[in-house]
Structure 1
Amino acid sequence: MSSVKKIAFIKYGGFSHINETIYEILTREFPSFEIETIDVFTDLVNTKDLTTIFHTLKEYGMEMLNRTLNIGNRRLYIRYFFNKLRTAIVKRLQGRDYLFTFQTQSLFDASIPGIPHFVYTDHTALANLDYPGFNKKNLPSNSWIECEHQVYHHATLNFTMSDNITNSVVKDYGCDPDRAIDVYCGSNISVSQDDIFDDSRYARKNILFVGVEWKKKGGLVLTEAFQIVLNRFPTATLTIVGCTPEIDVPNCQVLGKVPLAEVAKYFKQAAVFCLPTRLEPFGIVFLEAMAHKLPVVATNIGAIPELIIEGKNGYLVEPDNPQQLTEKLIEILDSPAQCQAFGEYAHRRFWDIYTWEKTGVRIRENIERFI
């Protein structure tokens, strides 16, 4: 290995609790090296200056006028801001001694010539085109897509959470297949392989939904399906965690946002996890359900078919199909034994593949080829 003693970890915000875990991985897998953490949008640039707002309106003004886009989000997806951020990153990193640089997400390019650079992401913009019903007008501009293209091509390796996104980096952005590698990810909820679960819960017919965005995550479809499920199983219940939709349906418990540490108890009380999401770059919440021995009913989109194996640890349905969702929920709730069998398969699959410890080893082994 090189004698350089520092690693630059460049990130944006929390990345759904993932950035904290990545820092721990880099610290654990490269214990001899100091980790310098840089948050690009708090340490380097101002995202709300008037020039950025002007360029955002120039690039996306019509869509904002039609209220289909939000300026707060779109200012991150303009060439002007990408280049501004690129300049700030180069100024901060250039000329310093780094073993390598590592960034999460693909909103910026933190590569420096001559230094191995690694990207870890759960998405690409163009992967959205594979979602049924996705409106192409909601993509970032072609100008910004060209910037995103640069991110993947400047990386020494692109680490992804799923084959779905690995394939997109190669197919949609023209990267060499050898430079796009699926290293997976793990659960954001602390779990132990030795955790004990109450198998009697499978007979209680409690359906669990965990998600912040009710409509985007298929909440309306689930509500419609659940009302029909109640005709078959009057004692079935639906627990909603993470959001507070206004619904008037019997046997529903709406909990809203709860601390991450408390979410585990709702997984432990459920018989089945259901998230009929319409858009999902990866879906760590499915791993959390698997870690808690839950069968899953979800939509056949994005990376979900890699996590949920049809007829093994759950069922896959088409998005916005309440009839199909109802049928699968009734089928799984009708058999506590099947719920348990699916849950056990899910548990084994989680521990075989989807832990942060194993992801960390995959990342280290691939990085070591270049340092």
Structure 2
Amino acid sequence: MTLDLPSDENIFAFVRKGPVPICNEHVSTHLRLHFPGYRMETIDLTSWLRSRRDILAFALIAAFRAYGTSILKQRKPVKECLWRTLYLNQKVKQLMARKAKQTPYAFTFQMQSLFDASVPGTPHFLYTDHTNLANRHYPQVADNVFYPQHSRLVEQAVYDHASGIFTRSRHVTQSVIEDYHTDPAKVHCVYAGSNVPLDDMAPLDNAGYTNKHILFVGIDWDRKGGPELAAAFAKILAVHPDAHLTIVGAAPELNLPNCHVVGRVAAQDLNAYYRRASIFCLPTKREPFGIVFIEALAHQLPIVGTDIGAIPDFVEHGANGYLVPPFDVPALAEALLKLLDSPEQCRRFGAYGKTHIFTRYNWEHVAANMASHMRQVLDAHTVVY
């Protein structure tokens, strides 16, 4: 969406790969509120690419030249490889240069670090939840998650050309600074908000945490630790045969008693599943952020998660949940059993989690934090190249 304001207003470009994930809409909406004297021009690169079939065709050729073996062996998805080519990044740079020449921008802002939308001489900001090299800080990571040197050079340029870099978590902040040798003064951890409404939630419907319902929410079953959770749940049934596991998002084929596979649901329908749960569990093995943890905490659910990535930012072990090592089925089962054995502990963890989550993890707070840092740069009108 582009605001219809007079042409003599200051204009900034909001550059995104596409309308999804939904955080793109949250960030753009709140940035507009914090810069009321500016007209926002949204540049949707996926729509642009679809309108330029010539560029799309050459980008696909470039992707297969660079990653053909990995694509054919299904180690890397072709859509992801498309954005990791020098060719497409150069075309994005050319697009932004043309647009800036036609309409000089007061500043530019991009979502994620897959491309470099900066314009020389113009303050540029970005908001990202991950870096490619952050993957090396996870245990047992497959080599196919890493991209070659030429792709990392593009990512390096994204950070080098930015006047301000905003991240969702401390571990990504650390990666941008240490793995990409970025000036710490321009990297700011601003966290993230929830993707579901949190201001009008109905009370929990979990019989005071006694219904023994465990909830998993995630699309990528394997990466999110689904197989480990299924194995742990099999152990749990030996102790609590009336326990239930609900899987939302993913749709694995499981032969487990009391296991309910829901599959994908609309974001606005997630609240009903949170309300009926007593425990939220996502034993993920690699996680850029994990917005579902925030949603679960806001619903006063105790958490069982893994001690990787951003998760220790919002799950305090022994205060609002338990952290276990990834891949550790016995530790996962033990943590879940502690909560199943004590509805009162679930209640305490849930109350603590909700109290502490709203002050940091909401989009208004995120945007206000970003806008504060951005104004400092804009007031000084400092650019990095």
TM-score (norm 2): 0.92
Q: 1:270 is paired with a residue of what secondary structure?
A: coil
Question: Given the alignment, which residue of 40, 48, 51 partners 1:43?
Answer: 48
1:350-365 mapped onto 2 (5 Å cutoff): 350-365=357-372
Question: Given the alignment, which residue of 20, 25, 31 partners 1:20?
Answer: 25
> Quick one: structure 1 residues 193 and 309, their matched pair in 2 at CA, closer, same or farther if it must change by over 3 Å?
farther
The structural deviation recorded for 1:52 is: 1.9
Could you list the per-position Cα deviations for residues 276-314 of structure 1 after superposition, in whole angstroms to 9, with x for gaps in the alignment? 111110000100001100111011111111111111111
The structural deviation recorded for 1:238 is: 0.6
The structural deviation recorded for 1:344 is: 0.9
Please tell me whether the aligned partners of residues 157 and 179 of structure 1 are also in contact (alpha carbons under 8 angstroms). Answer: yes
Q: 1:118 is paired with a residue of what secondary structure?
A: strand
Partner residue, 2:294: 287
1:76-225 mapped onto 2 (5 Å cutoff): 76-192=83-199, 196-198=203-205, 200-225=207-232
Aligned residue pairs total 369
1:215-364 mapped onto 2 (5 Å cutoff): 215-364=222-371
The structural deviation recorded for 1:4 is: 5.1
Q: C-alpha separation between the residues in 1 aligned to 2:54 and 2:264? A: 27
Q: Percent sequence identity over matched residues? A: 39
Q: C-alpha separation between the residues in 2 aligned to 1:221 and 1:22? A: 34
Please tell me whether the aligned partners of residues 217 and 278 of structure 1 are also in contact (alpha carbons under 8 angstroms). Answer: yes
Could you list the per-position Cα deviations for residues 71-115 of structure 1 after superposition, in whole angstroms to 9, with x for gaps in the alignment? 232121122221122222222223523221111000111111222
Q: 2:327 is paired with a residue of what secondary structure?
A: coil
Q: C-alpha separation between the residues in 1 aligned to 2:55 and 2:123? A: 31
Q: Which amino acid aligns with 1:109?
A: D
Partner residue, 1:33: 38
Residues 1:11 and 2:10 aligned together: no
Please tell me whether the aligned partners of residues 185 and 356 of structure 1 are also in contact (alpha carbons under 8 angstroms). Answer: yes
Please tell me whether the aligned partners of residues 169 and 190 of structure 2 are also in contact (alpha carbons under 8 angstroms). Answer: yes
Please tell me whether the aligned partners of residues 206 and 236 of structure 1 are also in contact (alpha carbons under 8 angstroms). Answer: yes
Partner residue, 2:5: none
The structural deviation recorded for 1:232 is: 0.8
Q: 2:376 is paired with a residue of what secondary structure?
A: coil
Q: C-alpha separation between the residues in 2 aligned to 1:50 and 1:34? A: 33
Please tell me whether the aligned partners of residues 17 and 46 of structure 2 are also in contact (alpha carbons under 8 angstroms). Answer: yes
TM-score (norm 1): 0.95
Q: C-alpha separation between the residues in 1 aligned to 2:201 and 2:66? A: 52
Partner residue, 2:382: none
Q: 2:65 is paired with a residue of what secondary structure?
A: helix
Q: C-alpha separation between the residues in 2 aligned to 1:350 and 1:52? A: 42
Q: Structure 1: state its 5+ residue gaps.
A: none
> Quick one: structure 1 residues 47 and 231, their matched pair in 2 at CA, closer, same or farther if it must change by over 3 Å?
farther
Q: C-alpha separation between the residues in 2 aligned to 1:142 and 1:192? A: 45
> Quick one: structure 1 residues 49 and 114, their matched pair in 2 at CA, closer, same or farther if it must change by over 3 Å?
closer
> Quick one: structure 1 residues 105 and 338, their matched pair in 2 at CA, closer, same or farther if it must change by over 3 Å?
same
Q: Structure 2: state its 5+ residue gaps.
A: 1-7, 379-385
Could you list the per-position Cα deviations for residues 154-186 of structure 1 after superposition, in whole angstroms to 9, with x for gaps in the alignment? 000000001111111100001100010001111
Q: C-alpha separation between the residues in 2 aligned to 1:285 and 1:369? A: 32
Q: 1:309 is paired with a residue of what secondary structure?
A: coil
